Amino acid sequence: MSLDRGSRLGRYEVRSLIGTGGMGEVYLAHDPDLERDVAIKILRDGSTSSDRVRRFVQEAKAASALHHPNVAHVYEIGTHGEMRFIAMELLEGETLRRRIDAGPLPVGEALSLATQIAAGLAAAHNAGIIHRDIQPENVIILADGYAKILDFGLAKLREREGPDAATLLKTEPGFTMGTLGYMAPEQLAGGEITPAADVFSLGVVLYEMLAGRRPFEGTTATEIAGAIISKPPPPLNRPGVPPALEKVIFRALEKSAGGRYGNAGEMLQALRELSGEMAATGVPGGVAGRRSWKRVAGVAAAMVILALIAGAAWMALLGKRERDAERLIATAEGHLRRGAYPEAYGAAVAAASMFPDNERLRNVIANSSEKVVIESDPPGASVHLRRFKGSPEGQDAGTTPLTIPRLAWADYLVTITKEGYAAAVLPMSTAPAFFRGQLMRRHSPHLEVD
C-alpha cells in the first residue's frame, strides 16, 4: 500500500514517497516532537510473511545496535495498526553505485571511502554483526564526502549469551543470501559466514572503485559464481595505484576466509597505515584529484535519501568539513607537541583517510613515525609487535622479509616465530633520541634475526 501525504505513523507525518527497496517502501516524513525530517521505511503492502517481518525487524535491531558515523542511524522501530515501520536518519547524497557508474574514482577518494566503509563494518563486527550484503548500492556518500552504510536486512548476529543467542536470520544449509557479484566464496557455497565475508565484499567494492569493473564477471549467474569460487582476480592494471594498495585488495579477495583479513578492523588498520604513507610521501590521487562536488551535487535521482545540495546547505556542510579537519589536525599536532608519538601518528593517519593531501598531517606523520625493516634467516617467519606501553595484545605485522612503511615512534617487543625454530623475543626502539633538546637525525630501524 502507498501512504498519502499527511498520513501519520505514530508521531511521524508522511510528506512523500522517496524510494522502494527489496522489502519495503521509504518515505520522507517529519518528526514534530524533535522538529526534524526522517526517513520512514515500511514493509511493502503490509506483508505479514514471517521471514520478511523477521528480516525487517532484524535490520532495525542490527542497525540500531550500532552508533558509528559511517552507519546510518536508526531512531525507532514501531507499529501503526498492522504496519511495521523503521524511523531512520534521512541522508542527502548519492549511492556509491552512481559514483562508480560515472567512472573509476581517483585513488585517494577510493581509499578514503574504503577506509570509512571499513570503519563502519569494524564497528559492526565488534558488536557481533555481519552485514552480508556490502555492495555499492548499500553505501551512501554525503555531499561532504562521508560514507554511510545502509541496509542491514541480511545482517547476521553472531551468537551471544541469553535467549536471543541464535542468529537473527537463520538460513538453511546451502541457501545463500546477498548480491551475487559481491558474495564471498563461502556464501555461495552455503558455508559458515564470518566477518571475513564482509572483508571479501569490501575488497570487491574497492577493486571496482579503482578499476570501474568488478574483479569477477560473467554473462550468467553461473559464470559469475564460478569466477568468484575458482578464478583469481585480474590485475588492476591502473597507473598510479600503489602496489601496497593492490596488495591489500588481493588479500581481501583471497578465496579462503583464513587467507583474508579476519575482520574489517584488521583491514581498516591496513588501509589507515596506507593512507598515512600516501599522505607522508605525497602520492597523488587524494582530495585534490576528486571530481567536482558541484557536479556530484547537480545529479538528482528519485530514490531514497538522494537530493540536491546547494546554497546555504552546501556552505554549512563545507564549513562543517573544514571544522572537522581543523579539530582532527589540532588533536594530532597536540599529541606531537607533547611527545605522545603513537597517539599523534594514530590521530594523523585517521584524519589522513579523510584529508589525504593536508600538509600539516604529513608533517605530523613524518615526525612521529618511520620505515622499519625486519628480516630473518631463514625468511618466512611471523612477526608480532607489541608496545611496551600500549595494548597487551599487540598486532601481527606480517612475515619476513618485512618492510613496514610507517611505524609510530615507540619502544616495542618483537616476537618472531617460525615452525621448527625457537621463538625470538627482541626489544626494538623507534623512539627518537634527543641531544641538548634537539632531535637527532635517525636512521630507519633494520632488525635482522638469524
pLDDT band at 354 (very low <50, low <70, confident <90, very high): low
Hey, what's the cell of 3?
A: 501512504
Task: Decide: 38 and 77 in contact? Cβ < 8 Å.
Answer: no
The candidate with the shortest Cα–Cα distance to 303, out of 112, 133, 150, is 150
Partner residues linked to 25 by β-bridges: 20, 42
Q: Model confidence over 137-192: pLDDT tens digits?
A: 989 999 888 899 987 755 554 433 332 322 323 333 333 444 789 999 998 887 88
pLDDT of residue 107: 93
pLDDT band at 271 (very low <50, low <70, confident <90, very high): very high
Rounded distance between C-alpha atoms, residue 35 and residue 261, angstroms: 43
What positions carry a catalytic annotation? Answer: 133
The candidate with the shortest Cα–Cα distance to 135, out of 79, 212, 201, 195, is 201
0.85 surpassed by pTM: no
Least confident of 20-24, 175-179, 287-291, 414-418: 287-291
Rounded distance between C-alpha atoms, residue 182 and residue 151, angstroms: 15
Q: Pairing relation of β-strands 369-376 and 446-449?
A: parallel
Hey, what's the cell of 159?
A: 551468537
Place of cell 522538529: 35
Cα Rg, the chain, nearest whole Å? 24
Least confident of 5-9, 151-155, 326-330: 151-155
Considering 63-67, 354-358, 436-440, the range whose residues carry the highest mean pLDDT is: 63-67
pLDDT band at 21 (very low <50, low <70, confident <90, very high): low
What is the torsion angle, in degrees rounded to the nearest 10, for the CA atoms of residue 90, residue 94, residue 97 and residue 101? 170
What share of the chain has pLDDT > 70, as a percent? 70
Task: Decide: 113 and 209 in contact? Cβ < 8 Å.
Answer: yes
The full DSSP string for 130-195 is E-----GGGEEEETTS-EEE---TT-EEPP-SSTT-S-SS---TT---S-GGG--HHHHTT----H
Rounded distance between C-alpha atoms, residue 314 and residue 281, angstroms: 32
pLDDT band at 209 (very low <50, low <70, confident <90, very high): very high
pLDDT of residue 194: 93
Going from the C-alpha of 78 to that of each of 16, 207, 305, 389, 410, the distances in angstroms are: 19, 39, 20, 47, 51
Least confident of 215-219, 300-304, 344-348, 395-399: 300-304
Q: Model confidence over 81-102: pLDDT tens digits?
A: 777 788 888 888 899 999 999 9
pLDDT of residue 154: 55
pLDDT band at 256 (very low <50, low <70, confident <90, very high): very high
132 or 244, which is more confident: 244
- Tell me the average pLDDT of the chain: 76
Task: Decide: 95 and 145 in contact? Cβ < 8 Å.
Answer: no
What share of the chain has pLDDT > 90, as a percent? 27
Task: Decide: 227 and 219 in contact? Cβ < 8 Å.
Answer: no
Q: Pairing relation of β-strands 382-387 and 36-43?
A: unpaired
CB count, 10 Å around CB of 447?
Answer: 18
Q: Model confidence over 390-434: pLDDT tens digits?
A: 656 667 777 888 877 778 888 888 888 888 888 888 888 877 655
Least confident of 35-49, 223-237, 254-268, 326-340: 35-49
Place of cell 563486527: 125
